[in-house]
Amino acid sequence: MDWHFQSSAAEADVRKLKGVIGVINNIVIKPNVQASDVRAKLKAAFARNAEIEEDNITVTVDGGKVTLSGHVDTWGQDSLAVDTSWSAPGVTQVEDRLSVG
């Protein structure tokens, strides 16, 4: 799949089926974009969001893995940054190294 939300949605749909007692999600996200494109898209998304001070967040991309480092003021901003990172196409993993407070 291309997007993390597709994998999550598929897992959620299977969990709802009658008789299912457990789900292991082995769906693989294809990192089909350039790292520089992912980084630029995330920085632009952070800049558009008034809740996040994008200058305080460093985005590093290695293949499909996004690492966020730096500082945010609240846990809500942390969650928003992580969720925004997952929304980029080709992201297979998000490592949250943001400090909060």
Number of domains in the chain: 1
Mean pLDDT over 72-100 rounds to 88
Q: What is the pTM of this model?
A: 0.65
Domain of residue 88, residue span: 4-100
- Average of per-residue pLDDT values in the chain: 85
Q: From CA 11, how far away is CA 85, in angstroms rounded?
A: 20
Mapped onto helix, strand or coil, the DSSP state of residue 63 is coil
CATH of the domain at 18: 3.30.1340.30
pLDDT tens-place string over residues 9-52: 999 999 999 999 899 988 887 766 677 777 888 888 888 877 77
